[in-house]
C-alpha cells in the first residue's frame, strides 16, 4: 500500500509548491496603483488569481495530510 501512497504524497507536495509559487507571482504582479485604487469595481484579476492559488494550496495540503494519515494508519 505504501508503494501507492508515497508517490501520491510526492505529487501532492509538488502541487502545493506549484500553487504557492503561482500565488506569489500573482502577488508580485499586483501594482501599487491596483492596491490603492478606490474605484469600487471589485477584485482585480491578480487578486482573483491570488485567491484561487491560495485555495488550491490549502486543498492540496489537506489532501496530503489525509494521505499521510492513511499511510500511518496502514503501517500499524
Q: pLDDT per residue over 12-42, tens digit each? A: 999 999 999 999 998 888 776 666 666 666 7
CA 48 to chain centroid: 13
Q: Which domain holds residue 24?
A: 2-34+43-75
Q: How far apart are CA 51 and CA 1, in angstroms?
A: 35
The total number of structural domains in the chain stands at 1
- Count of all residues that appear for the chain in the document: 76
Q: How far apart are CA 50 and CA 9, in angstroms?
A: 24
Q: How far apart are CA 10 and CA 63, in angstroms?
A: 11
pTM of the model: 0.79
Which pLDDT score is estimated for 61? 96
In the structure grid, which three cell numbers stand for residue 39, read together? 474605484
DSSP state of 42: -
Which pLDDT score is estimated for 32? 66
Amino acid at each position: 500500500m505504501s508503494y501507492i501512497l508515497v508517490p501520491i504524497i510526492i505529487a501532492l507536495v509538488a502541487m502545493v509548491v506549484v500553487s504557492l509559487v503561482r500565488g506569489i507571482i500573482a502577488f508580485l504582479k499586483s501594482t501599487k496603483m491596483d492596491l490603492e485604487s478606490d474605484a469600487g469595481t471589485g477584485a482585480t484579476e491578480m487578486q482573483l488569481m491570488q485567491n484561487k492559488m491560495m485555495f488550491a494550496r490549502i486543498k492540496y495540503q489537506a489532501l496530503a495530510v489525509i494521505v499521510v494519515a492513511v499511510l500511518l494508519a496502514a503501517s500499524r
